[in-house]
Structure formats: structure tokens, C-alpha cells
Structure 1
Amino acid sequence: MEWQFFISIAMFALVMTGTPGPNNVMLTASGANFGYRRSLPHAFGIGVGLMSMVFLLASGLGLIFQQYPIIQEAMKWIGSGYLLYLAWKIANAKPSSGHSDITSKPMTFIEAALFQYLNPKAWMMMVTAIGSFSLEGGEYWWSILVIAAIFWIFQIQTSSIWVGFGTLIGRWLSSSSAWRRFNLCMGSLTAVCVVFIW
């Protein structure tokens, strides 16, 4: 494989994982509300979810979507509904009190991994990556491993930046009203992501 192959995937992965979308908006909100360390399982769960999607799509799941488009349509509706539910939870979250509120908690590793299957941006990223960068013949599975590994590396880095950004914002929010406005803003941005599904 040529270096151009690796660079192309890396650039695509950087843009796709680094730009705003449901994952990054929720990571920012999590960083602000729960701090950097407590948000890390959320970030790592995203990476595992994306990698599992790569292997499922490479194994033929994409063909099922082509043969039965109703499945993809149903996932759009379910994903939209779940995203709106998460947006409502974020918008109505109680103001942070020094990250010590044990009644609320960040998204877990498993929840974040499973959320990718309802995240339209995740499907678009993985379908495009496999369609654009996978190689034919004997190098097919090797190229799939490379795609998964590069996406995981870049996703961890960009997710860490978004969580860190949220953590910094959380330090600046000093009043309950500021927290409410921030959470309402993050919830609204999460809800807006539904527009991109349709």
C-alpha cells in the first residue's frame, strides 16, 4: 500500500471525527457537566462502536441495506427519536455542582458504543470510508483493518479535544442560570443534528 492510501484515510477520518455532530456535541456537554475523566468512557465507547460498524459493514451489512431499504428508513426514524430524547435530557440537565452530582451520570462506554448504530453521521462515515478506501482481492481485509485503526486513532484524539473543550467551558460557568443556558444550547445543537438525518 502506498502512503497516499494512508494519508487519504487519515484526512477523511480527521474531518469526519473532528467536525460537529451528535457525538461531539454530546462529548462537549459531558465534559462541561461531568469533567474530563468521567467523560472518557463515553469517548472510548464511540471508538469501539465505530470500529464494530466498519467490520459489520465490510462483512456484508451494507448489502442488506441495499436489498431492504426499509431497514435503513426505520433506523432513521429510531435514530431521530433517540437523538431528540438525548437532546431533551441534555437541555433539562440540572446545573453542575462541581461534578459531584451522583444522581446524574455521563453516557457509559456501552451506551456510547451502541449509540453509534442510531447515529446517522456514524453510518455515513463508515459506509463512505469502506466504499471509498477498501481495496479489492487479497488486500480487502487488510485495508478494512487499516480503515478501522486509523478511524479509531483519530476519533480518540478529536473526541479528547471536544471533551477538553467542554471541561474548559464548565470551569467558566459559575451560576445556575449560566449552566441552564449552556445545557439548553447543547441540547438544541443535539436536536439540530436530526436535520442532517433527513
Structure 2
Amino acid sequence: MDDFFTLTIILSLFTFTMTTTLSPGPNNILVLSSGLTYGYKKTIPHMLGVIIGFPLMVILIGLGAGIVFEKYPFVLDVLKYLGILYLLWMAYKIVSATNNYEINEETSSKPFTFIQSALFQWVNPKAWIMGMTVISIYVNTQEESFYQILIIACMYFFTTLIGMNIWVGGGVFLKRFISNARFVKNLNRGLAFTLILSILPVLFN
């Protein structure tokens, strides 16, 4: 194992990745709403898109994408504002989602596919912040960096797997015990508002 990744560093990395994975953000709010609206099974592709897509994004950032954005910061700004617009659209979709628990084939509202979820990471402002921060903190440039990046990505795979299931499970739990359509509608509005709030720190950064 790389000398940089001592047990202390591994535990620190686990704490960092677990905390950032569990903290409220676009991915977590969206899968919570999906679990509430569509149930666990139909949300699996959405979860897998995050679980696989984000660690892959971390690897690419570590291999040089971060350097590109440091050299051409306007590219990151473009992605940031595209992400904000997309999140606002997703907030609208959450509010307008059907309140009927029995989602049928005719409804215009559909859960994320795997590809949609994986691609969403690239316009997710929180994902960019998390990815660039973890690389800057836990990659020792004086050592072999590729091995370190793989360890970080594997750790995020593990913690994201846990985090996604917790948040989707929360939505499924609410779906099981809530039968009042008006309450669900108001809850979705609350989730949409929370999603918008998650944008503000990035917008004013």
C-alpha cells in the first residue's frame, strides 16, 4: 500500500467521504423524492448512476480534469450554471410529479435512468466541489497518484452505496406510511425547495 495511506489517513478519508455522501445535496434529495414517488425498485437505476458515476468522475478529476478547470476556469463556470439551471428544472419536476403512488406507464413523470443519473454528476455543483476537494486533500503529488485516486474512488463507491440506500430507504419508508396525497404533494414541494436551497452556496460562491 502507498505509504501515504496509513490507517489514520484511511479513517480520515472514510469520515470525509461518508460525511459528504450523507449530507443533504442534489443527489440525495432527488433519490429521496424518487423513493417516495416511485419506490425502491424503480429508483435502483438512479442510485447506480450515482454509485458508479460519481467515483468515475473522481477518477477523471484526479487524472487531469481538475487541472483543465484550473487553467480554463470559465469551463467550470459554464458547467456550474448549467447545473444550476438543471437543478431548478428538477425542482419543478419534483413539484409537478404525480401524487398517485401507483405510477403507471401513462404518466409523463419517470424516474432517472442509469445514464441520466451518471451524466447528471457532471452538472451537479456539489459533485464538482466534493470531487475537487477530496483530490486536493488526499492525493499526495510526491507519491504515485493513480493508486491514491483509485483508493479514493473505491472509498466513495462504498460510502455512496451506503448513502444512496439510506436516502432512498427514507423515501420508501415515507411512502409506506403516508397515504394522504395532499401531504405527499406538500412534502415534494418541501423537497423541491430544499433542492433549490442546496444551490445557493454554489451560486454565491
TM-score by length of 2: 0.91
Moved segments of 4+, more than 4 Å? none
1:152 matched to 2:195? The reply is no
Give the one of 81, 100, 114 matched to 1:96.
100
Uncovered stretches (5+) of structure 1, i.e. residues with no partner: none
Uncovered stretches (5+) of structure 2, i.e. residues with no partner: none
Question: What secondary structure sits across from 1:135 in the alignment?
Answer: coil
CA RMSD of aligned residues (A): 1.3
Greater CA drift, 82-91 or 47-56: 47-56
Q: Is the 8 A contact 2:63 2:146 kept in 1?
A: no
The equivalent of 1:117 in structure 2 is 122
Give the one of 3, 9, 18 matched to 1:5.
9
Can you list the C-alpha shifts for 1:103-148, whole angstroms capped at 9, x where unaligned? 2321111111111111111011110111110123453111111000
TM-aligned CA deviation for residue 175 of structure 1 = 2.3
Give the one of 157, 160, 176 matched to 2:181.
176
Can you list the C-alpha shifts for 1:19-68, whole angstroms capped at 9, x where unaligned? 10011111110110111121111111012221221121112111111111
Q: Is the 8 A contact 2:38 2:101 kept in 1?
A: no
TM-aligned CA deviation for residue 190 of structure 1 = 1.3
TM-aligned CA deviation for residue 70 of structure 1 = 0.9
Q: Give the Cα separation in 1 of the matches to 2:142 and 2:58.
A: 18
TM-aligned CA deviation for residue 196 of structure 1 = 2.1
TM-score by length of 1: 0.95
Q: Is the 8 A contact 1:29 1:166 kept in 2?
A: yes
Q: Give the Cα separation in 1 of the matches to 2:184 and 2:154.
A: 37
Greater CA drift, 183-192 or 150-159: 183-192
Q: Give the Cα separation in 2 of the matches to 1:152 and 1:196.
A: 25
